[in-house]
């Protein structure tokens, strides 16, 4: 489904990521791990069009998508969340979700000025669908709250809902468990598995919590200093000497 070939990016001579190869199949959960500064978020930013890779190719369903703008990549059905939460904090919870419908809204500016039937039908549909989505993540009781007034865990959940509202087939999660306690992390693991089945999508996630990564990923890719040092099933990664060295240092 997603195939990344020889992906590299340089920032003024510094190779942040070099020659990365990566593939994700449909309905697969893939983990991207590595020490701090290994280039994981940079990979995300290249996949979502925030950065344009210096060299390399990203193809999605056989279509070349590198160099596309972030909104165009969302239209191609790749959605993401952010490491440090980036909600539309002064907007209500439901409006946060509704914004994800913008790229495929069927009415134009004139319909909204004159409140045509097309406008009302589409708005009703968006309202209904967003509400249903919020309900699935038990956020519907807070639909009119401002996003900034939600608890930390709810904000993380709303980020996922908002990303899902763009109807992706690949969801990129950037440290979804950051700042969560063990119980919340456990719930999150169940949620990610449930999302995968319910929405029929693949997930690529960056995470430092090894319990989560080992627990739900079918495949794990390890980055260190911008290079891929290992790839395999959780079992293989656990016993890979290179990975142990990267995390714990030589001789450990």
Partner 1 sequence: MKDILKKSSFKALMAIIAVFALLNTLIQTGVINYYYSGIINLILINVILAVSLNLIVGFTGQLCLGHAGFMAVGAYISAILTLKTNMPLILGIIIGGIIASLFALLIGIPTLKLTGDYFAITTLAFGEIIKVIIMNMDYLGGASGLSGIPIKTKFPLAFIFTVLTIVIISNIIKSSHGRAIISIRENEIAAQAMGVNTFKYKIYSFVIAAFFAGIAGALYSHYIGFLQPASFDYLQSINILVFVVFGGMGSLSGSIISASILTFLPEALRSINELRMIIYPLALIILMIFRPQGLLGNKELSLKIFKNLANRKEDKVC
DSSP states of 87-114 as a string? --TTSBHHHHHHGGGGGG----HHHHHH
Do the beta carbons of residue 205 and residue 29 sit within 8 Å?
yes
Tokens 């000497």 belong to which residue?
A: 241
| Closest distance to partner 1 from the beta carbon of 95 (Å) | 6
| Closest distance to partner 1 from the beta carbon of 50 (Å) | 7
Q: Are strands 2-11 and 14-24 parallel, antiparallel or unpaired?
A: antiparallel
Does residue 142 interact with partner 1 by CB under 8 A? Answer: no
Does residue 115 interact with partner 1 by CB under 8 A? Answer: yes
Residues between 21 and 50 that touch partner 1 (CB under 8 A): 48, 50
Does residue 52 interact with partner 1 by CB under 8 A? Answer: no
Closest CA to 168 of 77, 81, 52: 77
Residues between 166 and 195 that touch partner 1 (CB under 8 A): 166
Residues 6+ apart with CB under 8 A from 24: 1, 2, 30, 170, 202, 204
Does residue 98 interact with partner 1 by CB under 8 A? Answer: yes
Q: Give the nearer residue to partner 1 in terms of CB position, either 33 or 73.
A: 73
Interface residues with partner 1 (CB under 8 A)?
Answer: 48, 50, 69-71, 74-75, 79-80, 82, 86-91, 95, 98-105, 107, 109, 112-115, 119-120, 122-124, 126, 162-163, 165-166
């Amino acid at each position: 489904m997603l195939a990344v070939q020889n992906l590299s990016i340089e920032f003024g001579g510094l190779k942040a990521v070099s020659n990365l190869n990566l593939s994700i199949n449909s309905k697969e959960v893939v983990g991207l791990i590595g020490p701090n500064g290994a280039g994981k978020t940079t990979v995300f930013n290249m996949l979502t069009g925030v950065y344009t890779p210096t060299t390399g190719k990203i193809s999605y369903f056989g279509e070349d998508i590198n160099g596309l703008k972030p909104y165009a990549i969302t239209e191609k059905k790749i959605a993401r969340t952010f490491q440090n939460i980036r909600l539309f904090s002064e907007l209500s919870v439901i409006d946060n979700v509704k914004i994800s419908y913008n790229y495929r809204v069927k009415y134009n500016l004139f319909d909204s000025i004159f409140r045509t039937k097309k406008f009302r039908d589409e708005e009703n549909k968006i309202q209904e669908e967003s509400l249903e989505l919020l309900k699935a993540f038990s956020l519907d009781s807070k639909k009119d709250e401002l996003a900034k007034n939600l608890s930390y865990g709810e904000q993380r959940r709303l980020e996922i809902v908002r990303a899902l509202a763009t109807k992706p087939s690949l969801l990129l999660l950037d440290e979804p468990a950051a700042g969560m306690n063990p119980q919340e992390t456990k719930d999150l693991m169940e949620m990610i598995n449930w999302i995968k089945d319910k929405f029929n999508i693949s997930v690529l996630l960056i995470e430092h919590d090894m319990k989560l990564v080992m627990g739900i990923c079918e495949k794990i890719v390890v980055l260190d200093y911008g290079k891929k040092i290992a790839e395999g099933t959780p079992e293989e990664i656990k016993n890979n000497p290179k990975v142990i060295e990267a995390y714990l240092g030589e001789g450990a």
